[in-house]
Structure 1
Amino acid sequence: MRQKIFMYLFVFSILLVLFQYVNAKRVFEDMDRKLDGYKIQLERCKDSVAVLQDENLDLSHFNLERNEDAMSYFENQGYNVSELVLLIKDELYKLNEEKGEHPIIPYASEEGKRMMINTVKLLNHKWIIADFSDGRYWGELFITYEITEDKQLKFNLAESFLYPFN
Structure 2
Amino acid sequence: MRNKIFMYLFFFAILFIIFQYMNEKSIFESQEKQISSLTKQKKEADSLMNVQDDAILELNYFNLMKNDKAMTYLENLGLEADAVQNMVRDQIYDLNVAPNGNPLVPVDGMEGKMRINKIKFLNHRWVIADFSDGTYWGEVLIEYFFDENNELSLRTMEGVLYPN
TM-score tier by shorter-chain length is 0.7 to 0.9
The share of aligned pairs that are identical, in percent, is: 39
Out of 79-88 and 13-22, give the one that drifted further: 13-22
Taking structure 1 as reference, are residues 143 and 32 closer, same or farther at Cα in structure 2, changes over 3 Å only? same
Aligned to 2:154, the other structure's residue is in SS state strand
Instruction: Find the counterpart in structure 1 of residue 125 from structure 2.
Output: 126
Superposed displacement of residue 124, structure 1 = 0.9
Instruction: Find the counterpart in structure 1 of residue 116 from structure 2.
Output: 117
Aligned to 1:146, the other structure's residue is in SS state strand
Aligned to 1:74, the other structure's residue is in SS state helix
Structure 1: any 5+ residue segments left out of the alignment?
1-7
Aligned to 2:141, the other structure's residue is in SS state strand
- Whether the 8 Å contact between 2:137 and 2:161 is mirrored in structure 1 is yes
Superposed displacement of residue 83, structure 1 = 3.4
Superposed displacement of residue 144, structure 1 = 0.6
Aligned length: 164
Taking structure 1 as reference, are residues 154 and 36 closer, same or farther at Cα in structure 2, changes over 3 Å only? same
Instruction: Find the counterpart in structure 2 of residue 161 from structure 1.
Output: 160
Superposed displacement of residue 49, structure 1 = 2.1
Structure 2: any 5+ residue segments left out of the alignment?
1-7
What amino acid is aligned across from residue 72 of structure 1 in structure 2?
Answer: T
Instruction: Find the counterpart in structure 1 of residue 141 from structure 2.
Output: 142
Aligned to 1:129, the other structure's residue is in SS state strand
Superposed displacement of residue 10, structure 1 = 9.5
- Whether the 8 Å contact between 2:101 and 2:115 is mirrored in structure 1 is no
- Superimposed CA distance per residue, residues 93-140 of structure 1 (whole angstroms, 9 cap, x where no aligned partner): 2221233332211211135x2211112111111111111111111111
Instruction: Find the counterpart in structure 1 of residue 5 from structure 2.
Output: none
- Superimposed CA distance per residue, residues 20-41 of structure 1 (whole angstroms, 9 cap, x where no aligned partner): 5543442232122111011112
What amino acid is aligned across from residue 135 of structure 1 in structure 2?
Answer: G
Out of 85-94 and 130-139, give the one that drifted further: 85-94
Superposed displacement of residue 77, structure 1 = 2.6
Instruction: Find the counterpart in structure 2 of residue 80 from structure 1.
Output: 80
Taking structure 1 as reference, are residues 23 and 80 closer, same or farther at Cα in structure 2, changes over 3 Å only? farther
What amino acid is aligned across from residue 78 of structure 2 in structure 1?
Answer: G
TM-score (norm 2): 0.79
Taking structure 1 as reference, are residues 77 and 21 closer, same or farther at Cα in structure 2, changes over 3 Å only? farther
Matches within 5 A, 1:51-90: 51-90=51-90
